[in-house]
Amino acid sequence: MPRLFGFDYKTPFFYMVTLKRLPGLHDFSAISEDGSLVKSAITQAFEAVLSRFHDTWPCIEPVSPFAVMPD
């Protein structure tokens, strides 16, 4: 996808990333009976990558805060 002409990509912005799963695959997370969030393995892996993003590319601001919401 080409970059937006005239948009200043150097300033901080909020981004929203939406992941969609294919029908029939496991949910990314769920709410348990006691109301707590239960994260799937793919959600835990995605959070780990986001947490270490700045370690790999130190010239980019850390990705924080972020939230992975249940399906």
Pick from 64, 66, 63: nearest CA to 43: 66
pLDDT of residue 35: 93
pLDDT of residue 34: 96
11-55 tens-digit pLDDT: 777 777 777 788 888 888 888 999 998 888 888 888 888 888 878
Q: Would you list the domain boundaries of the chain? A: 30-71
C-beta separation of 17 from 43 below 8 A: no
Residue of 66 and 24 predicted with greater confidence: 24
